[in-house]
Amino acid sequence: MPLCIQCLSQAQLPAFPGAEGVAKNITGGRGGDVYKVTNLNDAGAGSLRYGIQNAPASGRTIVFDVAGTINLASSLDFNGKDNITIAGQTAPGGGITLSGNRLRINPLFNGNSIVDPISNVVVQFLRVRPSEAADNADGVWVQTADDVIVDHVTTSWSVDESISVTHDSDNVTVQWSTMTQGLLSHSYGSLLNGGTYTYAHNLYAHNRSRNPRLQQSQDMIMELDFVNNVIYNPGDRFAYGGDEYSVNWVGNYGIRGPETGDTNHAFARDTDMESSFFVEGNLMDNNTDGMINGVVPVLEGGSHEAAMFRTGADYTLLGSRVPIPEANVTSAQQAYVQVLSRAGATNFRDAHDRDMIRDVINQQPGQISSESEWGSLPSLPTGTPAADTNNDGVPDTWALSAYGDASTPLNTTYASSGYTYLEEYIHSLTPYAYMPTNTQSHTITTGYGLGGDAQVNENGGTSAISSGDGTGNALNALWDGASGSKNQAILLKFDLSEIAPGTVKEAVLELTAAEAVVGTHTFKVYGLEHDGDDWDWDESTVDFADAPGLAFDGNSRTLGIDPRYTADGEPSEKDNFPLDTPGVYSLGEFSIDSLVAGETASFEGLNLAVMLNLAAYYEGSPHAGLVTLILEQTNATGTNDATFFSHEGDALLAPRLILDATLATPTVVENADFDGDGDVDGRDFLIWQRGAGSVGSPSTGDANGDGNVDAIDLGVWQDQYGPTNLGVAAQVVPEPTGMTLMVINLLVWLKTRSTSWHV
């Protein structure tokens, strides 16, 4: 009976926490064998290709003991191999890149006939970059396949499309993936035809067209849930298609870029064949002003309008959603934040991934004909695989902590969640890969932790000198223009250690006036890239010349972020896109009118929230969780000065971030002193013994704070046990030999009890 209950529960269990849409409940390789990729060869034992081609029908999970680039000599095809999970997040170091050709999830064909169909495939956390050497290759092609999820996959440098689903495939979800910088002359995002699909939380950037293109196949009329995607800098078109299909177009954000042509419709209907659309909550940003400020598109409009369709297009507008399993929906603004923060192979964002995100934030061009125009393929840190003595895909240390022993094959042992322990381990590797939950308002000031603030000065006209003040009571942002003698910027550093990495949904910067501010003042807000120069600036010593992000040219009549700026704060040279400054993100601008002392100025921007989340990808580095913002005043009427409190001037009114984010989990200190008397002794053992096998708390034997009293807590007691009170508890504490036997017996007893929990 327990096995039947388990089987029944599989139908409702997501493929993994965070799976969405029409393929949400597939199983992939769950319960099957484990294959370890042990080399980066194109083929042969230990290669990824060998693991796919020799997978058993009963299921396989493919994990990685290596990291780096696999140079494919030919298309990496599934050829009818079902029930497979490829868990790219298990690779050590910088993860896995496939280069030189495509990944194709396809049946086994004999000519045009299907010999062996394919279904039930999960692919996660890979990068696929075919490059110009590949002959007309997509990045990922799902061809005539059913029940597939492509999740957190980075694709770029594809010769045809980046991720396409075609030829009567059905029940396919593509989510949290990036489709960027396809190579001209094709440079396409996605071609979709056939069955029922979900495309959700994806980024399209720097593709000429097909973002996506929709078609009707010969045998099926497509139904598509296209939800919360971000489309940036298409060439001639955003999305388009003729034929007949039914589409939910919900909560997407389209952003015209410097290489976007004159057709700016969200969806260009290129035939008069009838199709059905449910349209809700989309935004279009067509003004190329360097800011992210989209508007709700009108339903129909001309070429230069923010419009869903061209004037006179044929379509049927639906009053309710096409009835297919829905992806989770947020606003288009929140889609922008979350997609840029966590789409793609975010187990390790390499230099190209980060550059694509930076291009969207800074609204830069990026369409290319050859990958060499960007640079060489990024190298990846190799890392070291963890010991796994029984080769079940689960490192021994994790198995001991989560299950209690490292000898049981955890790929076929089920946790109470319904997942195998192997799956639980895989899920644990990317805890912040999906939309953050349990967020709450939290304030961080520049006075917290490793934070700081400073005013830096380039004053003195054309013979300006550099100075700074990071210990004063106020911060003064000031630029008197192209004929003035003062150019002063504000630096703000925030320590994000109180929030879980990458979980910011909304962010507001607040500053409080230290004295009256007269007239209108405009400020540009920049963020330092997290591996940018001088990230570790010290507020007690920083000055303009060594401040992060600023250029000191000895001339106060030019701005510091980019000396090419002119008197009105605009670039002196501009070709339909903002000037780009290496090392900084352009987060937006804000203006304030006159303020009295104690009043607050605020800046709220989508790019600010994204930039704070990007700090998550440097965890383990010295600059992890530290962010620097730079404020420049670019225009003012009335008095030039705008002076705000520093954290030295007023700890409560210091510059501050008001965040909607998930708070970090406090570090748990293991403690087996269950009775709280200051030592770990036999009395504590008796408390653990009484609570063993139950849900508990520190006072009932839970030493590691996981809510359970189990063998792991007994291990903590053993490690912390001291001999100082043996006399007090002589009647309950066995001799060492007896204690060893007792512990063995208890572990066996617990294992017997826990077996029923694992079924």
Query: Which positions are catalytic?
Result: 210
Looking at residue 430, its amino acid is T
Spell out the alpha helix ranges (H) of 263-345. 332-342
Return d(Cα 370, Cα 374) in angstroms, integer: 8
Looking at residue 506, its amino acid is E
Residue 343: name the closest of 175, 190, 207, 228 by CA: 175
92-112 burial, b for 16+ CB within 10 Å, e for fewer?
Answer: bbbbbbbbbbbbbbbbeeeee
Which residues are bridge partners to 571 per DSSP? 565
Return d(Cα 708, Cα 704) in angstroms, integer: 9
Return d(Cα 291, Cα 140) in angstroms, integer: 32
Return d(Cα 82, Cα 84) in angstroms, integer: 6
The 3-class SS string of 53-101 reads: HCCCCCCEEEEECCCEEEECCCCEECCCCCCEEEEHHHCCCCCEEEECC
Return d(Cα 182, Cα 189) in angstroms, integer: 7
Element (H, E) at 756: helix 736-758
* Contact indicator for 602, 545 with CB cutoff of 8 Å: no
Spatial CB neighbours of 567, under 8 Å, sequence gap ≥ 6:
481, 482, 483
Spatial CB neighbours of 441, under 8 Å, sequence gap ≥ 6:
658, 659, 660
Looking at residue 695, its amino acid is V
Sign of the CA dihedral running 501, 506, 509, 512: negative
Q: Which strands form 440-445's sheet, in the order they lie side by side?
A: 440-445, 656-661, 506-512, 600-604
CA distances from 483 to 459, 467, 480, 657 (A): 12, 20, 7, 34
Return d(Cα 743, Cα 750) in angstroms, integer: 10
Residue 452: name the closest of 491, 411, 413, 405 by CA: 491
Return d(Cα 208, Cα 368) in angstroms, integer: 10
181-203 burial, b for 16+ CB within 10 Å, e for fewer?
Answer: bbbbebbbbbbbbbbbbbbbbbb
* Contact indicator for 233, 259 with CB cutoff of 8 Å: yes
CA distances from 670 to 522, 544, 659, 666, 674 (A): 51, 46, 31, 12, 11
Return d(Cα 141, Cα 154) in angstroms, integer: 13
CA distances from 577 to 249, 262, 279, 431, 558 (A): 28, 15, 30, 36, 20
* Contact indicator for 654, 446 with CB cutoff of 8 Å: yes
Residue 256: name the closest of 299, 282, 287, 291 by CA: 287
303-325 burial, b for 16+ CB within 10 Å, e for fewer?
Answer: eebbbbbbeebebeeeeebbebe
Spell out the alpha helix ranges (H) of 681-725. 682-691, 711-720
How, if at all, do strands 642-645 and 506-512 pair?
Answer: unpaired
The token pair that represents 628 in the structure block: 């620097």
How, if at all, do strands 163-175 and 140-143 pair?
Answer: parallel
